[in-house]
């Protein structure tokens, strides 16, 4: 229980230091040491600056011959969709301009004429989609597990079973939507066991289940559970293309053919049908190749670095319970966090977020850790702490 | 604080005995002692059986010459609207087919393009309008004060001020809606002081305020605060026409001309513009005449009866804290509640709801108490208890 | 073809004289000759003044023991619904507060996720429901047959088949809605043959079909085709309860159980679920009894009267082509229409609408014709013309 | 009048040959003569293949240092918006993912609570946005001028003034939307004079006016009227970024600050708020630079080529009345259009659409004409015709 109380007690004070939804602090810092590779201990993955993005795209084009689409049909985008269909084990996949559109359209189609949609109180669907569910898609979100990472199957069952007592004029239950991992609780995961129970309950009640898996690769990386297994418990799954797959924007929604086939029309009438989408498709398709392995290597690298640094008396790096790529870092009282941060940046091209008054911060593990050998990073920290 | 915890601890067990939304248990009991007036200790007022309703309407027509309307325009319905405009001190009033329509349209017009609407968790708008707010009117209800009668101004301010931390993509705050008294907490009232603070806060933030005053006459009767004063703190107020004013159905919405003038079009497009509405208008208009005085007399009568009965050792009738017309009644262990109920019904034409296993029930005070002298009622109880 | 051009050429000039949607001109004329029965040559049926309505209701109550409903469930309203279910041959029927709600909800449910709804340009759904279809129910009305009474099956097929050429991003076809008879073309009927063809075409394309039969009793009366046969070609049919069945307001929607069972929830969320509805139900149920026979007698009576009057040189009464209860009346040049009207009113309690400058007007046939023997009416006209 | 009848008589037969909404036929023809520049007589502008697009973006980045945005805020996208604000003379501009979103949101915000929106029957808003106006934005489109390029101010006034006769329950008029030039009538323009009259009328009636100027640069190029002047008659104007400005997708909406400031929230709730948008912004911003001049040169070049070719007896190229970049081309009976097309393609890298059975086709003028000297093109046609 305690682990799930995190948000209430600590998240708010840390939030300004490391805003969960603004991954890259480096946008305003183009003055990097030339020639030197960068490690960023924030963000969920490589988020390219334009110059790097174009260079990468150039490489892809030379090797793979990108083929353009028209309104999302044909060419490289179809290859991307096919790839995600295989990866998730779902019949069909479709590219969309945003995660909000993917979540909302999935929930809306799954719900049919039923309006009640159960979500985590901390979820993106409930808190970060600007009332889209109610004001555009005309569904009623029912938040569960205030400030927690997840609700249990029992809590869900209880909420559903008490509805007849709580309301006189009953309305139907459409969908249960689960975000995993949850960004607002610092990337903590929903336990697989709970997902299984929820899925079994929903199936028994003919309630549809949607997975906001924007960062499902992170859950998969840290839990060791395959994306296909996660997806198997849900009717639909959305995965982000820009958080760690290099695209400038975009989302993939996967599910049954019957559900996905309704999407082009719905995208069109909501204004989300774009003429050409091949650039984001090509980038994500290319970066997807080998990503799971690179992520595993990044995790190993992080463990190596953190284990070694934890031998130092003035630094303590600890994973969150049920966490993914976010780690707590605490410095001893006498250590100057600001100097550490500056030295890492200027002398070693390693970026970390600022420390708060209690000398605490959070480090995010991502692909950029592979840009330097572990030893170099360890030494960089040690030298920067002894400045 | 304790008084506001009622719903959680007791309401559910009592609910089956005296369902708050199904006022008249007598519908299925037409076998009354002929010639004898009836007292019903349930329901908020006189709810006529067809025969009595028609007779009453006949009397009204003979005395007052009912004039019919066309789509709510002209005739007796305009007189009713004028009357409610005066009673509430609002510029204009309009008849609607249901309280749900009155609440939803008021909130929707007051909110404009803003979608967030704060309501009590226990309110009719939140729990008993079948997701109308989200699924038709595209607003997002934000429930406050779980299972309580009311939220405080501080709770409201806190909820509003924490929004920027809780959501990344902000959306506007439309309306605050307050039900008073609250049927789901057994008719308990929102304290006037809290209403004043909420109203002042909302005005300072340019947030509109709606009063679901379906039973505002009950709050007024028990608190001594005039309907006009209650209404003065709100932009709009809805009052039911059938719960205690005799109509078969219908609601009145009062507010600024600018707001009310938008209603005929909105009623039309939602399918609520009915051809003739004069019958409900005539009945409510007639019954409204002297109703506040009759209610005062009913309260006095109840006090007289309950005070006298409380002198008996085997019966205890107590008002709820901040309550209105609902009273707890408890019998001593040895007393047979079922016999009491039956005797009152058969021998005295006095109807009370059944007792639960703990020998408890609830009595509702309404106009029907005036149908017999206090003494007769007291004696009826005494005789029925000694059966 | 020519008969269907009526609206364009004549309706507008006549409209002010006999507004098709404001049936009773008598509302402002309560000063009737006491004791004398009234005949009104306008309106589709008896529309009671309050005094008469209450008296009628009193009689019904005495004979039939009206039983009240709660939110449309139980009692007399269920009897009414059962009656209409039998009359139309549909599985189930439901009472609604307005024809607009009945039309819009029927079309919306039948259409499912498809948005295109084909309607007559002259229909109530297209012209007299204040954009409800688009602004609340989010459907796209596709008007056919500009200013005509009906579109043909060929026109419908042609419109549907040319859609792929006319639009790039296709959207689904939901429902075809037909009003019959059409009030905006003076009650003209859609030919049964065309209905059959349209119905067959729609079935072959899996398109649903709704009948706005607000005045279907008039079509049935004049065409001799039973209401059950009309209804058999459609998935749903709406019939008005107040235009000729005496209720102050209300509508009945009939259709398959699966469709009708969705209505209570939809009525609730649109604000159309009213507490008590037994008065309108009792009146319509009672007036329905024998109505078809009374209407046949009224038609015979009208024919008798008009045939006799047409023998006079200065008056000409003619039915409309494919018309129902509206007849053209023309006076010879020298005849003073205004005097005729006044004399009929003052001396014989027979109300007719005013004549235009061309000495033309329209007479509407309805039940009130049975209030006096044909001979009296004929004599009244003759005497009034010779004034 | 005759010129506006085009669509009915000819468009449908030509449509398959040169689909107005699928500008580039070359997508499937990457086998171009290497090293040789291409001229395409279809499409409104340069629509890059991925390889060319990336190369172009690379060049831009090297010269101009693209700065990325976050959800459309900051960086190059702001520069683009500023540029369009200046170009159109409007207070503010905003990037959107699609023209459908730009049109629908502009119309919806301008309309406020009013639901009636007048549009050309042939417009993109009416025909090619998949019922978005009705099914998502809950507005009622009122089409005018069936199959014509434009409606006149008189037709608009007439339609508005006859509404009270045509509908009993009035609803408000929101916006008038005009597409110019109109793609479904082969790029024909709305006369400036008519625009002025419509604008004056709308201002006098307080009706808002939106310009679907997806291809307004074409109207400006052929009419000589500046974009700023066109925009001055409207409250909002949308311009496409991909039809001739090189972006893969995207739209710009310009208008008053008060209107545009509402867009980020509306884009978000409809799912159109994308994370990074700098690539499309950079491309459009760069290609915009000098585009008007290049277009002028293309028109001059086209005139030079067509004038010279028209001296040949077996070919006739003529502009459309009020047309923009689409020209009729007709060959003499004996000439083999298919051979001409093939020869131009294979021998000269000049792409033209196929001819129909009457030996007619359409040529579209665009920037690619500048890829070869006029003389080369003229000779290429002459040689290819004499094959």
Question: For the segment A103-138, what is each residue's pLDDT rounded down to a tens digit?
Answer: 999 999 999 999 999 999 999 999 999 999 999 999
What's the maximum distance between 2 C-alpha atoms anywhere in chain A? 68
Q: What is the DSSP string of C108-166?
A: HHHHTT--EEEEETTSHHHHSSTTHHHHTT--EEEEESTTSS---HHHHHHHHHTHHHH
- Per-residue pLDDT, B59: 96
Q: Are strands A39-40 and A350-351 parallel, antiparallel or unpaired?
A: parallel
Asked whether residue C150 carries a pLDDT value surpassing 70, the answer given is yes
Nearest to C171 among D115, D131, D139 (CB): D131
Helix residue spans in chain B (DSSP H): 6, 12-14, 50-64, 76-88, 99-111, 124-127, 132-135, 153-161, 163-166, 192-205, 216-223, 227-232, 257-260, 263-269, 278-288, 291-309, 337-348, 374-385
Asked whether residue B15 carries a pLDDT value surpassing 50, the answer given is no
Nearest to D360 by CA among D323, D325, D324, D335: D335
Residue with tokens 């999302």: A72
- Which residues of chain B make contact with D265, given a CB cutoff of 8 A? 169-171
Q: What is the mean pLDDT of residues D184-212?
A: 98
Q: Are strands B173-179 and B116-120 parallel, antiparallel or unpaired?
A: parallel
Question: For the segment C284-300, what is each residue's pLDDT rounded down to a tens digit?
Answer: 999 999 999 999 999 99
Residue with tokens 């066991």: A193
Nearest to B268 among D169, D268, D269 (CB): D169
CB atoms D274 and A98 under 8 Å: yes
- Which residues of chain B make contact with A16, given a CB cutoff of 8 A? none
Nearest to A177 by CA among A248, A235, A230: A235
Asked whether residue D330 carries a pLDDT value surpassing 80, the answer given is yes
Question: For the segment B28-86, what is each residue's pLDDT rounded down to a tens digit?
Answer: 343 344 456 899 999 999 989 999 999 999 999 999 899 999 999 999 999 999 999 99
Asked whether residue A170 carries a pLDDT value surpassing 90, the answer given is no
Tokens of B192: 């006037």
Question: What percentage of residues in chain A have a pLDDT greater than 90?
Answer: 88
Q: Which long-range contacts (CB under 8 A, 24 or more apart) does C51-59 make?
A: C51/B61, C51/B66, C53/B279, C53/C246, C53/C248, C53/C283, C54/B54, C54/B57, C54/B58, C54/B61, C55/B58, C56/C246, C56/C283, C56/C286, C57/B54, C57/B57, C57/C279, C57/C282, C57/C283, C58/B54, C58/B55, C58/B58
- Which residues of chain D make contact with C135, given a CB cutoff of 8 A? 115, 138-140, 171
With beta carbons less than 8 A apart as the criterion, state whether A202 and A176 touch: yes
Q: What is the mean pLDDT of residues B118-125?
A: 98
Residue A250: half-sphere exposure toward Cβ, Cα within 13 Å? 27
Residues A12, A17, A18, A21: is their CA dihedral positive or negative? Answer: positive
Nearest to C20 by CA among C298, C215, C157, C286: C215
Tokens of C46: 């008896």
- Which residues of chain A make contact with B130, given a CB cutoff of 8 A? 167, 169-171
Q: Mean pLDDT: which of A114-118, C26-30, D164-168 is highest?
A: A114-118
Question: For the segment A223-266, what is each residue's pLDDT rounded down to a tens digit?
Answer: 999 999 999 999 999 999 999 999 999 999 999 999 999 999 99
CB atoms B98 and C274 under 8 Å: yes
Neighbours of D85 (CB within 10 A): 19
With beta carbons less than 8 A apart as the criterion, state whether D195 and D178 touch: yes
**Strand partners for B364:** B326
Q: What is the mean pLDDT of residues A70-74?
A: 94
- Per-residue pLDDT, B17: 37
**What is the ipTM for the molecules in this complex?**
0.91
- Per-residue pLDDT, D386: 85
- Please tell me the distance from the alpha carbon of residue A337 to that of residue A343, in angstroms, as a whole number: 10
Question: For the segment B183-194, what is each residue's pLDDT rounded down to a tens digit?
Answer: 999 999 999 999
Asked whether residue B2 carries a pLDDT value surpassing 60, the answer given is no
- Which residues of chain B make contact with A11, given a CB cutoff of 8 A? none
- Please tell me the distance from the alpha carbon of residue C340 to that of residue B339, in angstroms, as a whole number: 74
- Which residues of chain B make contact with D171, given a CB cutoff of 8 A? 265, 269
B-chain residue closest to D114, CA distance: B265
Average pLDDT of the residues of chain A: 91
Nearest to B68 among C49, C265, C282 (CB): C49
Residue D7: half-sphere exposure toward Cβ, Cα within 13 Å? 20
Nearest to A122 by CA among B164, B141, B167: B167
With beta carbons less than 8 A apart as the criterion, state whether D125 and D133 touch: yes
Question: What percentage of residues in chain D have a pLDDT greater than 70?
Answer: 90
Average pLDDT of the residues of chain C: 91
Question: For the segment C91-116, what is each residue's pLDDT rounded down to a tens digit?
Answer: 999 999 999 999 999 999 999 999 99
Which of A2-11, B41-50, D31-40, D356-365 shows the lowest mean pLDDT across its residues?
Answer: A2-11
CB atoms D169 and B273 under 8 Å: yes
Higher pLDDT pick, B196 / A169:
B196
Neighbours of C330 (CB within 10 A): 16
pLDDT band at A36 (very low <50, low <70, confident <90, very high): low
Asked whether residue D153 carries a pLDDT value surpassing 50, the answer given is yes
pLDDT band at D97 (very low <50, low <70, confident <90, very high): very high
Question: In C, what residues contact D, Cβ < 8 A?
Answer: 12, 15, 21, 115-116, 127-131, 133-136, 138-141, 165-171
CB atoms D135 and A269 under 8 Å: yes
Neighbours of D63 (CB within 10 A): 9
Between chain A and chain C, how many beta carbons pairs sit less than 8 Å apart?
14
- Which residues of chain D make contact with B273, given a CB cutoff of 8 A? 169
Q: How far is B171 from chain A (nearest CA, A)?
A: 6
Q: Are strands D116-120 and D92-96 parallel, antiparallel or unpaired?
A: unpaired
- Give the angle B60-B92-D113 at the CA atoms, nearest 5°: 125
Which of B278-292, C1-15, D29-43, D87-101 shows the lowest mean pLDDT across its residues?
Answer: C1-15
Q: What is the DSSP string of C61-114?
A: HHHH-----BTTBSHHHHHHHHHHHHHHT-SEEEEES-HHHHHHHHHHHHHTT-
CB atoms A140 and B135 under 8 Å: yes
Tokens of A93: 């996949």
Neighbours of D386 (CB within 10 A): 11
Question: For the segment B94-105, what is each residue's pLDDT rounded down to a tens digit?
Answer: 999 999 999 999
- Please tell me the distance from the alpha carbon of residue A144 to that of residue A177, in angstroms, as a whole number: 11
CB atoms C169 and A262 under 8 Å: no
Peptide bond into B161 cis (omega under 30): no
- Per-residue pLDDT, C36: 67
- Please tell me the distance from the alpha carbon of residue D197 to that of residue D181, in angstroms, as a whole number: 17
CB atoms D169 and C130 under 8 Å: yes
Q: Any idea what DSSP says for residue A208?
A: E
- Please tell me the distance from the alpha carbon of residue B243 to that of residue B21, in angstroms, as a whole number: 10
Between chain B and chain D, how many beta carbons pairs sit less than 8 Å apart?
14
If you compute the radius of gyration of chain C from its CA atoms, what whole number of angstroms results?
Answer: 22
With beta carbons less than 8 A apart as the criterion, state whether B110 and B210 touch: yes
CB atoms C249 and B66 under 8 Å: no
Which of A32-46, B120-134, C352-366 shows the lowest mean pLDDT across its residues?
Answer: A32-46
Tokens of C303: 């024919």
Nearest to A268 among C113, C169, C269 (CB): C169
Peptide bond into C151 cis (omega under 30): no
- Please tell me the distance from the alpha carbon of residue C30 to that of residue C67, in angstroms, as a whole number: 32
pLDDT band at B170 (very low <50, low <70, confident <90, very high): confident
- Please tell me the distance from the alpha carbon of residue A204 to that of residue C171, in angstroms, as a whole number: 34
Higher pLDDT pick, C23 / B212:
B212
- Which residues of chain C make contact with B74, given a CB cutoff of 8 A? 27
D-chain residue closest to A282, CA distance: D50
User: Which domains occur in chain B, in start order?
Assistant: 75-288 (3.40.640.10), 291-385 (3.90.1150.10)
CB atoms D269 and B171 under 8 Å: yes
- Per-residue pLDDT, D276: 97
Q: How far is D258 from chain B (nearest CA, A)?
A: 14
- Per-residue pLDDT, C12: 35
Average pLDDT of the residues of chain B: 91
CB atoms C269 and B57 under 8 Å: no
Tokens of A287: 């970066």
Tokens of B94: 């309009």
Question: For the segment A291-343, what is each residue's pLDDT rounded down to a tens digit?
Answer: 999 999 999 999 999 999 999 999 999 999 999 999 999 999 989 999 999 99
Question: For the segment C175-226, what is each residue's pLDDT rounded down to a tens digit?
Answer: 999 999 999 999 999 999 999 999 999 999 999 999 999 999 999 999 999 9
CB atoms B269 and C130 under 8 Å: yes
SS3 A65: coil
Question: For the segment D13-62, what is each residue's pLDDT rounded down to a tens digit?
Answer: 333 333 444 334 333 343 344 456 899 999 999 989 999 999 999 999 99
Substitution target from C104, C108, C126, C131 for chain D, most D beta carbons within 10 A: C131
C-chain residue closest to D136, CA distance: C138
Q: What is the mean pLDDT of residues A170-180?
A: 95
Q: How far is B135 from chain A (nearest CA, A)?
A: 4
Asked whether residue C26 carries a pLDDT value surpassing 70, the answer given is no
CA distance to A122, A176, C385, per residue, from C17 (Å): 64, 59, 20
The secondary structure element, H or E, covering residue D198 is helix D192-205
Nearest to B74 by CA among B257, B271, B288, B276: B276
Q: How far is B261 from chain D (nearest CA, A)?
A: 13
- Per-residue pLDDT, A32: 40
With beta carbons less than 8 A apart as the criterion, state whether D144 and D118 touch: yes
Rounded to two decimals, the pTM is 0.92
Q: How far is B73 from chain C (nearest CA, A)?
A: 12
- Per-residue pLDDT, D36: 67
- Which residues of chain C make contact with B66, given a CB cutoff of 8 A? 50-51
Nearest to A171 among C169, C171, C265 (CB): C265
Average pLDDT of the residues of chain D: 91
CB atoms B169 and D113 under 8 Å: no
Substitution target from B133, B140, B161, B182 for chain A, most A beta carbons within 10 A: B140
């Amino acid at each position: 229980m305690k682990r799930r109380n995190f948000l209430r007690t600590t998240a708010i004070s840390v939030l300004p230091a490391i805003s969960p939804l603004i991954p890259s602090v480096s946008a305003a810092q183009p003055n990097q040491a030339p020639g030197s590779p960068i490690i960023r201990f924030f963000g969920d993955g490589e988020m390219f600056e334009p110059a790097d993005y174009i260079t990468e795209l150039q490489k892809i084009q030379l090797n793979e011959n990108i083929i353009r689409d028209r309104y999302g049909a044909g060419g490289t985008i179809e290859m991307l969709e096919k790839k995600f269909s295989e990866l998730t084990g779902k019949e069909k996949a479709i590219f969309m301009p945003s995660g909000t559109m993917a979540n909302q359209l999935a929930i809306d189609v799954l719900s049919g004429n039923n309006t009640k949609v159960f979500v985590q109180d901390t979820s993106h669907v409930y808190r970060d989609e600007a009332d889209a569910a109610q004001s555009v898609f005309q569904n009623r979100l029912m938040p569960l597990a205030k400030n927690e990472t997840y609700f249990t199957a029992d809590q869900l069952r209880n909420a559903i079973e008490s509805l007849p007592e709580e309301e006189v004029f009953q309305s139907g239950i459409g969908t249960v939507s689960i975000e995993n991992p949850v960004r607002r609780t610092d990337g903590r995961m929903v336990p697989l066991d709970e997902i299984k129970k929820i899925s079994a309950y929903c199936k028994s009640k003919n309630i549809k289940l949607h997975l906001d898996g924007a960062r499902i690769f992170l859950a998969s990386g840290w839990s060791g559970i395959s994306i296909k297994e996660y997806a198997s418990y849900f009717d639909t799954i959305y995965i982000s293309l820009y958080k760690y797959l290099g695209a400038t924007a975009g989302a993939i929604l996967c599910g049954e053919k019957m559900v996905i086939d309704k999407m082009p029309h719905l995208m069109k009438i909501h204004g989300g049908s774009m003429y050409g989408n091949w650039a984001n498709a090509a980038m994500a398709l290319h970066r997807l190749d080998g990503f799971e392995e690179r992520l595993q290597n990044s995790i190993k690298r992080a463990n190596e670095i953190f284990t070694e640094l934890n031998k130092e008396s003035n630094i303590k790096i600890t994973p969150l319970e049920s966490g993914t790529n976010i780690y707590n870092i605490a410095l001893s009282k006498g250590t100057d966090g600001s100097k550490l941060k500056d030295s890492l940046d200027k002398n070693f091209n390693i970026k970390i977020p600022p420390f708060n008054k209690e000398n605490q911060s959070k480090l995010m593990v991502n692909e950029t850790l592979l840009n330097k050998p572990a030893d170099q990073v360890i030494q960089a920290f040690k030298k920067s702490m002894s400045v």
